[in-house]
Every structure is written in C-alpha cells, then in structure tokens.
Structure 1
Amino acid sequence: MEQLGSQTTSLTPSDAVDLCRFLSLVPDPRDVRGRRYPAAALLCAAAAAVLTGARSLIAISEWVADAPQHVLGTLGFGIDPFTGLRPVPHAATVRRLLQRVDGDALDAAISAYLQARVLPPPSPEGKRPVRRVIAVDGKTVRGSRTKTATAIQLLAAIDHQGVVLAQRQVASKSNEIPSFQPLLDTLDLESTVLTADAQHTQHDHGAYLTGRGAHHVAVVKKNHPGLYAQVKGLPWREIPLGHRTRDHAHHRNEIRRLKVAVFRRIDYPGARQAIQVVRRRHDLSTGKLTIERVYLITSLSVFDATCAELATWIRGHWGIENLLHHVRDRTFREDDSKVRTGTLPRVMASLRNLAISVFRQDGETNIAAALRRTSRDYHRPLRALGLT
C-alpha cells in the first residue's frame, strides 16, 4: 500500500498511463507453487475486457480466450517453451484470482493510476485557480445479497466529472460514517471542495476536512435538529437572491433559487455560510407542482466562491447518480449480477469504475457507445489503458 501511495511521484506523465505498472503492485493472493499466469496480466486482461463491455466473469474469460497472440503478449502472458504459443487461462483461473485479490490494494492501484493518468488543468491567467470538487457517495451492490448476508455497500470519492478517485467497502453491520475518513486518507485534499449528503454532516467529518485543508458543502437535515433549526431559522425572506436557473428536461420545467447567508457562528467546524436552495418543479405530463427546500452549510467564505459556483457544485453532487451509479446499473447491469463469492462483487465494481473513469477522462459522454466502439478492436482497450 505504501508503494502504491508513492507511485505517482516517481513516474513521468508518459509513464503513468501504463496500468500494468500499477497493478503489478497488487499482492498476488495465490500460493507461489503452481502460478502459471502472472496476477498483473490476469488483472490487466480483466480490466481490458470490462472496457469492451464485459459484464460477467464468463464474458471476461471469453474475451481473453478470443484474444490474438500478440494481444496476450501485450497483456503480459508468457510463451510456453514447448508449443511456442501463449496459453490462455481457464475461466476458473480468472475467477479464483478475482475472488481472492485484496480489494483495498486493487482500489488503491486503480486510484493511483487514474490520478496519475491526467495532469491537473492549468489555472486561467489572472483568475482564481480552478477548485477540485469531490463528491462522497455510497452505493449498494444489490446482486451480492444472499440468504445469510446483506448486500455489500461501497463508499466512493468521485470528482464532479465522474472519475472515481477512491473506493472503500463499508463494514457489515455498519454504515458509511466510519468509512468516510479512511476513504479520503489516500487523497490530496488541500484546497479541494467536498460535497456529501446529510449522512456525512458530522462534526468529526467537518473537523477532519478542516484539518486536511479542504472545504465542505454539507447538507443539513432533521437528523441534526439543533443545526437544522439554526439554519432554517434564518430570515431567508429578507436575504437577497444569489443565483437563479431555469431548465426544461424530462417533460418538466425546473427553477432553482439559491440564497447565501454569512453566519457569525454556526455550530459546525469551519462553517462560514448557510445556503438555502429552493427547487420548483412543474411536471408537464401531470401538471403537478412540487416545491423543495434544501439547507446546506459551507466552510467557503464569500471571497472563496461565488453563488453561481456554489449552485454548480450542489447540483453537480446530485448529478453523480447519473454519471456513475446509473451507468453501472443500466449499462453494466450491476444489480443483475449474481457474483457473491469472496471479493468478487467489489472487484467487479472496481473494474467498472475504472472503465467509466477512463472514458470520462477521455472526454466520452455516452459510456454505452464508448463500450461498443472499444469492443470492435482488440487494440482499443489496450491503448486506452496505456498498455501499447
């Protein structure tokens, strides 16, 4: 794990795109005796197969079995000295490795690879540096549920472009709150903005982010009655409107209004401002009008962010569901998957995160179309992962 954390500092941008160099640091859980295929080659093959749309272990094995000899060589499979050919691993070999691999180590390798793959954008001249915005959100892998065990839950840190930066499995018989800080320990949070739902509006989380030099935009609900009453009780009618947008999509009109109030003292670590967002939705199909008020707090001052930026970040957090979770559920049919053995559910989710993140970094907006295009040529997933 220490090697994975220091890997990004020793690689140049041209070297950092090679996924195999990162996956080679993931410990091989198999016994030394009888290892015929390198673990890094098997993991690279699984990642490449998922990049072409493989949804299951069988699909991954079929992709590897059909791969040309030179592709197997690029992935890292050796030549049999007796036949002169590169043997193809059996589906059971792939399954045994993926169900035993260390999920934390694999996620750390993928996280380090994605962070090293793209250099940060330069700041515009004469303007404030562009802030990095990270959302923390959880997802339940419903297909992993068994008669004796609940479905596993994964907590992820995702930037607002849909790139997964870190992932951690929530302990059974627990919730996301204890996993919040360990998830973010591996990331550089200096000057970033963290968005999260009301579950993570915890005093310990606020103090942790302040200590790491990060800012937060946190939702306040009735699960914190004192803080909620303090924010809701502000004279919002007298506070001027800070930002307003109007959109038409999905057969409905939506108007969003945002107001910001500077607080002398908010009962939350580092909090400087309170925010009210009012969403009015008019469903054109039914004629129904709904009004929703959401209250938030932020450690950003009036000099750190404009009302337009706050509105963009708040809406961006709600959009994570479409950028990541919806794609895993609809495009990769994650909830229909019945893999339940060992670490398989988490590993498959990690490989899907990798595929989606690589496409997002490459500017793809339609992940399904990107998968179809990548599947038409064996060299395309290898190029995308920096293997060629």
Structure 2
Amino acid sequence: MPAPLEQLARASAPAPLTDAVRLSGFLDLVPDPRGCRGRRYPLSALVTAAAASVLAGARSLAAITEWISDAPAWACRVLGFPVDPLTGSVRVPHPHTLRRLLVQLDGDALDRAIGSFLTARATPAGPGLRAIAVDGKALHGSRTATTSYVTLLAAMDHTGHVLAQRQVADKSNEIPAFAPLLDTIDLADTVITADALHTQHPTAPISGHEAPTTSRRSRPTTPACSTAFAGCPGRTSPWTTTSAPAPTTATRSAG
C-alpha cells in the first residue's frame, strides 16, 4: 500500500465513504501523473475510492482494488466515477489501472493533502498549547532485495492522529525532512517534541521561529565533560548531563 495512505489506515472512520468524499476536497493540489489523452476516470475519484477502501479496512493494493470492484453502483457514483449516459451504469477502473496510478502519484503532495484533511477532521484542542510529537519510523514490509526500508517522518498529536508525514530521502536522514514537514502544519500555540537528533543547526530556526531549547548528554571525553569531571571523586559515570532549560521541544506562538 502506498505510504501516504498509511495515514488513513491509522485513523478512526465510523463513516468511511463520507470521510473519503470529504477528502476529495483536499486533492486539488495533487498533480495528475497520467497523460492528457485516454483519461477515463477523474484523479479525484480514483484517489477518493482508494482512501475509502483504506478507511474501511483495506491494507494492501489487492484489498483496495477488490473493495472498489465490489462497491455498489450508488457508492461509485458518490465517489465520483462517471455514469454511462445510455445505460446509467457506473464504470470502475481495472485493478492494474489503479495500481499504476497509485505508484506514480507524487507521494509528498498526497501526504500534504491527507495531512490537511486529517488536521481539519481532528477534534479541536482545548485551551492551552497543543502538543505535537515528531518521530520517524521504517515502513514495515518496504525492504526489498535491492532497496532498504522506506523511512517516514510523521507529526502526530497526542490523541494519535497523524497530521502530516514525509518520506525521508534515500541515503539521507530525518534532519532535512524536519522543517518541510512542519511547514505543512499550522503551529500557532503549539509545542513540538522530537528526538535529540533534531537539535541541529539546520533545524534550530524551524522556519524562522524560535529555536528549540535542548537537553542533551555529552560523553566524558569531550573537553566540557573532562572539566566537569575533574572534581568528581571516582568519576565512575560514563555520562553527564548538561544543564538546559527544558526537554527537547520547540514552541511556536501566534503572531
């Protein structure tokens, strides 16, 4: 299953069809990778149908295409598939058509669209600062004989809703993807927690806002630790903690 649709797999959906139709309003900025000729189905209908199947429980490309093939005619009309003007029947795409499209889609653009949909769908936070956690994980089952695991960096609120995610480039790490990921989210009155990996100069400004305060550990072989350990009897601890005003967080305030 394409990585962007993994966000929907973790979302609760008491009404999969209704939620998928709402998602179609966020797909305008997803470019269509197909040629101009021979387009039988709108891009929004194909992606919305795939999203509806994932919200209904599909967890593989085979399950997605099977769900669409078995969907009743009225549901296909709601999803946006064209109706034959002569017979009134609704045509659905061949499984290979949908698979080719999902593989060719711009993953970052689809991530942003789904993230915006999930953010708008989430329950409004109460008074005070909103908390968002940023973490990266390897996508289960994405490793092949010739490629390594696909790594995704995701931003999630503390209720478990994924607000945005971004694929980490091959032969890179999470640091270059950190700021672009947060640029897709409204971070007014928000506290962001992240791994100590992101206490780096490239991520410190976080798109021009306040730099994060950090709490880190230094090895005793560094000059600072050697000086600190000079007066410590025994010096048995291999670690020391430098003083810092707060855990690894970044706060953005409105204005």
- Find the partner of 2:245 among 268, 273, 290: 273
Aligned-residue offset at 1:154 = 0.8
Deviation, 1:112, is 1.5
Could you tell me which residue of structure 2 aligns to residue 45 of structure 1?
49
Q: CA 1:176/1:227 → structure 2, altered by over 3 Å: closer, same or farther?
A: farther
- 1:232-311 equivalences under 5 Å are 273-274=245-246, 296=247
Q: Is the 8 A contact 1:136 1:156 kept in 2?
A: yes
- Which amino acid in 1 is paired with 2:245? Q
Give secondary structure in 2 for the equivalent of 1:150.
Answer: coil
In terms of fraction of residues, the more helix-rich structure is 1
Q: Does 2:104 align with 1:100?
A: yes
How much has 1:191 moved relative to structure 2? 2.8
The CA distance in 2 between the partners of 1:224 and 1:201, in whole Å, is: 19
Residue type of the alignment partner of 2:120: A
State percent identity of aligned pairs: 54
The 3-state SS of whatever aligns with 1:168 is: strand
* Alignment root-mean-square deviation, CA: 3.0
Moved more, 51-60 or 141-150: 141-150
8 A contact 1:111–1:164 mirrored in 2: yes
How far 1:99 sits from its partner (Å)? 0.3
- Number of the residue aligned with 2:168: 170
Q: Aligned equivalents of 1:203 and 1:227: distance in 2?
A: 21
TM-score by length of 1: 0.51
Change (3 A) 1:136 1:163: same
2:144 to 139, 143, 146: 146
Q: Secondary structure at the match of 1:30?
A: coil
Secondary structure of the structure 2 residue equivalent to 1:40: helix
What CA distance in whole angstroms lies between the structure 2 residues aligned with 1:70 and 1:150? 42
Residue 155 (structure 1) aligns with: 153
More strand, by proportion = 1
AA aligned opposite 1:176: E
Q: Which region of structure 1 is more displaced relative to structure 2, 112-121 or 163-172?
A: 112-121
Q: In structure 2, what is the Cα distance between the partners aligned to 1:80 and 1:142?
A: 41
In the TM superposition, what whole-angstrom CA distance separates every residue of 1:311-358 from its partner, at most 9, and x where no partner exists?
xxxxxxxxxxxxxxxxxxxxxxxxxxxxxxxxxxxxxxxxxxxxxxxx
User: Which is bigger in relative contact order (C-alpha 8 A, separation at least 6)?
Assistant: 1
Counterpart contact for 1:154–1:167, Cα < 8 Å:
yes
Distance 1:219 1:64, change over 3 A: farther
The Cα shift of 1:171 comes to: 0.9
SS of equivalent residue, structure 1 residue 73:
helix
**CA 1:201–1:226 in 2, change beyond 3 Å: closer, same or farther?**
farther
Judged with a 3 Å threshold, the aligned counterparts in structure 2 of structure 1 residues 228 and 113 are, in CA distance, closer, same or farther, namely farther
Check conservation: 1:135, 1:195, Cα contact below 8 A.
yes
Distance in 2 between residues matched to 1:113 and 1:225, nearest whole Å: 48
Check the 8 A contact 2:133/2:192 in 1, yes or no: yes
1:96 and 1:193, CA in 2 relative to 1: closer, same or farther beyond 3 A? Answer: same
Seen in structure 2, the aligned counterparts of structure 1 residues 25 and 227 have a Cα distance that, compared at 3 Å, is farther
Structure 2 contact 191–250 (Cα < 8 Å) conserved: no
Q: Does 1:196 align with 2:194?
A: yes
State the secondary structure of the residue aligned to 1:18: helix
TM normalised by structure 2 equals: 0.75
Equivalent runs, 1:2-41 vs 2, <5 Å: 18-41=22-45
Q: How is 1:76-95 mapped onto 2 (pairs within 5 angstroms)?
A: 76-95=80-99
Structure 2 gaps of 5+ residues are: 1-20, 230-241
Q: CA deviation at 1:78?
A: 1.0
User: What does residue 375 of structure 1 align with?
Assistant: none
